[in-house]
């Protein structure tokens, strides 16, 4: 997630509300104008299905709520095919 500061000064604050299977790399952000801050969010579900979570950015420019969504899919099935050849020698 990218938090951009298109105004002046510094945008800074904290992030609250993250819950499994979403995990924030950090719970703080800061961006001096005109830059941005990137917050990594990991999504690691343990089962298939849809997930949602709302996080709140509490900053010096107010509070913003962000809806996170993700879908857990089955892990790829990995298999190996072995071909065996037996030759009977007399």
Q: Quote the distance between the C-alpha of residue 46 and its chain's center.
A: 14
State the chain's mean pLDDT as an integer: 87
Cis peptide before 21 (omega within 30 of 0): yes
User: How many Cβ atoms are within 10 Å of 11's Cβ, its own excluded?
Assistant: 22
> Which sequence spans correspond to the domains of the chain?
2-72
User: How many Cβ atoms are within 10 Å of 86's Cβ, its own excluded?
Assistant: 4
Name the token pair of 11: 């945008």
Percent of the residues in the chain that have a pLDDT greater than 70, as a whole number: 87
pLDDT one-digit tens code per residue, 22-52: 999 999 999 999 999 999 999 999 999 999 9
Q: Quote the distance between the C-alpha of residue 72 and its chain's center.
A: 12
């Amino acid at each position: 997630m990218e938090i951009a500061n298109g105004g002046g000064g510094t945008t800074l604050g904290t992030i609250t509300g993250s819950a499994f299977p979403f995990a924030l790399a950090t719970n703080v952000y800061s961006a001096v104008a005109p830059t941005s801050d990137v917050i990594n969010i990991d999504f690691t579900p343990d089962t298939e299905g849809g997930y949602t979570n709302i996080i709140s950015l509490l900053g010096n420019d107010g509070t913003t709520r962000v809806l996170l969504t993700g879908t857990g899919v089955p892990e790829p099935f990995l298999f190996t095919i072995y071909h065996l050849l037996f030759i009977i020698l007399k």
